Chains A and B, each alone.
Chain A
Amino acid sequence: MQGLRGSQLSTLPTFDPGFATTQFDGADGLVMNIEGRGDDGVQMLESIPTERPVVAIDTSTIKLGELEDGFLCALRGTVVMLESKNYRYVRHGPFIFSLGYDSPLASKCLQNLGLPPFSGEPNIDSLLKRVRNVLERWLQFSVSSSLRDGFVLIDGSLTAGTPDNPSHELEHILEVAGRSGNVMIAISKKTKLRIRNEGLTKLLENVSHPCLVDVDTEITEQFPPYPVRFLGRVFVAKLAKSGFPFRIDIDRQIPSTEVAEEFAQLAGTDIVDQGYPETLRIAHILSTFTATDVLAMQAFAEAQFGLHLTPKLSLRHSLFGPFGTHWEAFH
């Protein structure tokens, strides 16, 4: 960071909220049509209260501004724990760092973080995902290895096998979690997987009672075994009455006969208002960067690193004025 001292930082008009999520459900860039299936697979859930701890992990990244040779970025991660009916959290960050277009340097930095090097021109978004993944996996590993007989909830899926999201790390985390009696569950707010040209969550549209459907076979059969790996069994589940259905992945090591009970215990242990676990909701809220955070971090960068903040020129605004069709034109 010291190398940036005195540089110019072009602040972005606003940040793209969608960028903060790095959910990957295995269907990035393609739309899958799963062959039709009947309603027979819908299994009702009756929640089972337990004293098992529930821990949720979420992380966020954001670009704070454009540097002459890259971007200034920030990263934050939160762990929320429900134990004895009390919610506690540990929030890490924000960590402010730069990602540059200098390939050898960026590659070296990633290597220092234990990530594989890359070749060719670096893609900042992709690099940011990798950095975020480092924190996320570190938090997941820490929780999985220290927790006993609990639920470990993460945002997204248990699918891995891309350069940004290598599978061996997740495999290791799942193995550690399993050894400690923990169940790792990934909940995806949004999925691109489809059945009969309809969204996956439509499967439970007409069911109001808590329930789940195993769609694992239909999905995994549609993908080649390499490089993308489904390390979790894929379900569509509704954890609360009249709640929203979500794609939920559960550690594949959990015997299929026990999956429904695990879901039922999760629904009975954590608050699942609207079908989404409270721990994960809090983790998301605490991780997300607000506009105030962005302003504060920009001010911090200006004070600490001597960056000169200048508003980024909006080309659309310059060219088209009020007739710019993009939202950016109004900022």
Chain B
Amino acid sequence: MKILKKEADDLQLLCFPDEEAEKGDYLLVKDTAKARSLIVQIIDIQYANIPGMLEDLLRDGISEASLSGEEVDPLKVSSQIRILKDTRLLVGKIRGAIENGRVSKDVAWLPSRNASIIEPMPSGLIFESYSTRHSFEIGSTNHFPHVSPDLTALDGRLNIVTGRKGTGKSHLTKLLVTSLVREGAPVLVFDVNGEYVNLGRSVDGREMHHSPRIISLIPGLNLRFTLPQVGLGTLLGTLTYALQLPENSARVFSRIWHELEEQNQLTMSCLGAAIVNADCHDSIKDALHARFNTLADSGIFTDDTRTALGLEDLLRNHSSGCALIVNMKNQHAAMRRIVVELIISKLTDLLATQRLRALFLFAEEAHLYLRETYWDDVVTRMRHLGLFTTFVTNQPDTIQASIYRQADNIFLFNFSNEHDLEVVSKVAKVDADTIRMVVRDLPPRRCLVIGDIVANFPLVIDVRPLEIQTLGATRYFFNDQLAVA
């Protein structure tokens, strides 16, 4: 390989046919005279723009299409022409440098075109910077079979998993969830499609050793709360945001709640009766009654303290790590919003009062149930409280731009749509060129990982297979189609 051009952090290299290079690969440009190296990642591979190539290809086209012929080339010069035709241009991004055997960010120097040797970067140089305290195997790269970053890079961070349908987002998310659980972390998953409930089972259906720590919560069945558990603030938030209760009605509801609380009668049956007998305008009464019926019908509320879910107790009892899978499959939109509103309010309360240390939240297609005001909350207040969110979506424009800018880790699967690429290219952790050029060519199960989890050296990773049951794989009519979860 030879250096062709450098402009800002772009480096263009000529790569000859006998040299191997793939998008995402890291190269070291070793300046032998200066005894230091540039770390360059290939983000695009093009044909080298060699003078006369158009004429040559046109000539080949003519002769291949309508001519048969014989070459009398005693010097075998045509082999040189073939080399030139297959010479590639590697477009690279400078990611750092190596000086005295250490990775450095000082890239304000220019390697010599004559004295530089370009070779694949030993993967160890990147992976050496990974902590090994809570490492997990995520997959492999082109040159390294086992990439094992540290889960602490997800701790206290905001993460995004995105890519178009069928590229392997859920697969990776399941890997992250089970890895966190194995390392003793509490995880909560908002499962829109009911595809995480079998995370504790092996591919052949056997229960795995972490199976008891995978807890499926179904709203109305084993996900139920008593009114005192929920509290006025949480319930009022649910009524206001999930069920659009007007402000005047909310004030009346607060009054009713306080009266019942004073009388120690905070039950659903008493609440229903209190609304019917409330001293207020009929329109307010009707509004409250309609919302009450919705809550009652949801089955989430119970007056029986034995069947109510003690979230705090549940998490305390699984202090060695667990995944609470909130299965919202087949739930209507309002129900999802109620469930999410209640759970997030409850978690926020537990975190704020130090009754819960921290929790990893995985939110699939969050736009279906997360209210507008939560987006900013997620990256500011909740993060400081200890709620670390990972958004998973195949519609990148449903996540606010501010989330992309503040995301600490991004797992990008294939996108070919320009609009989607434009949205995800707002990620602050890497330049837009890298995203646009690498992501559009990613095959299923291969993703571009950006951020703290890869020590800010973007990596193209083939996500490893999972030994667990991965429900949620795209269902096909014709079984011979390859389905990718």
Q: Which residues of A contact B (CB under 8 A)?
A: 80, 86-96, 282, 285-286, 288, 290-297, 299-300, 303-304
Contact = CB atoms under 8 A, between A and B. Distances in A.
Given A292-B81, A293-B56, A296-B80, A89 B67 contact: yes
A296 B67 contact: no
Contact of A91 (B50, B51, B53, B70): B70
B80 A300 contact: yes
B69 A94 contact: no
9 tightest CB-CB pairs across the interface, nearest first? A291-B52, A290-B52, A291-B51, A296-B80, A89-B69, A292-B52, A296-B81, A290-B55, A292-B56
B380 interface: no
B66 interface: yes
Nearest to B74: A95
Given A91-B70, A300-B75, A294 B63 contact: no
B50 A87 contact: no
A88 B73 contact: no
B56 to A, nearest CB: 5
A94 B52 CA distance: 16
B70 A94 contact: no
Contacts of A285: 59, 62
A86 B68 CA distance: 9
Given A88-B67, A89-B63, A292 B50 contact: yes
Nearest to B66: A87
B71 A96 contact: no
Nearest to B55: A290
Interface of B: 50-53, 55-56, 59, 62-63, 66-75, 77-78, 80-81, 83-85
A299 B16 CA distance: 13
A297 B76 CA distance: 10
A283 to B, nearest CB: 11
A299 B78 CA distance: 11
29 contacts: A87-B67, A87-B68, A88-B68, A89-B63, A89-B67, A89-B70, A90-B69, A90-B70, A91-B71, A92-B72, A93-B72, A93-B77, A96-B75, A96-B77, A282-B63, A282-B67, A285-B59, A286-B59, A286-B63, A286-B69, A290-B59, A291-B50, A291-B51, A292-B84, A296-B78, A299-B83, A299-B84, A300-B77, A300-B80
B71 A293 contact: no
Contacts of A94: 73, 75, 77
A90 B74 CA distance: 13
Contacts of B78: 296
Given A286-B63, A293-B56, A300-B77, A88 B84 contact: no
B363 to A, nearest CB: 55
B51 A295 contact: yes
A268 B402 CA distance: 73
A164 to B, nearest CB: 24
A292 to B, nearest CB: 4
A296 B84 contact: yes
Contacts, number: 85
A43 to B, nearest CB: 32
Contacts of A294: 52
A238 B378 CA distance: 81
Nearest to A281: B62
A2 to B, nearest CB: 14
A237 B13 CA distance: 53
B49 to A, nearest CB: 11
Given A89-B67, A293-B81, A295-B52, 4 more contacts: A87-B67, A282-B67, A292-B52, A299-B84
B296 to A, nearest CB: 79
A293 B83 CA distance: 11
Contacts of B51: 291-292, 295
Given A89-B67, A285-B59, A300-B80, A295 B50 contact: yes
B146 to A, nearest CB: 41
Contacts of A297: 77, 80
Contacts of A80: 67
Contacts of A86: 68
B121 to A, nearest CB: 28
A295 B84 contact: yes
A115 to B, nearest CB: 21
A263 B399 CA distance: 75
Nearest to A303: B80
Contact of B75 (A90, A91, A95, A291): A95
A6 B319 CA distance: 76
Contacts of A299: 80, 83-84
A80 B69 CA distance: 9
Nearest to A304: B75
A169 to B, nearest CB: 22
A87 B68 CA distance: 7
Contacts of A88: 67-70
Nearest to B71: A91
A288 B62 CA distance: 14
Contacts of B50: 291-292, 295
Contacts of B68: 86-89
Nearest to A299: B80
Contacts of B66: 87
Nearest to A296: B80
Contact of B77 (A87, A290, A296): A296
A282 B84 CA distance: 23
A292 B82 CA distance: 10
A34 B66 CA distance: 43
Contacts of A91: 69-73
Nearest to A87: B67
Contact of A293 (B52, B62, B67, B75): B52
Nearest to A91: B71
Contact of A290 (B56, B63, B69): B56
A292 B73 contact: no
B321 to A, nearest CB: 61
Nearest to A81: B69
A86 B67 CA distance: 8
Contacts of A93: 72-73, 77
A303 to B, nearest CB: 8
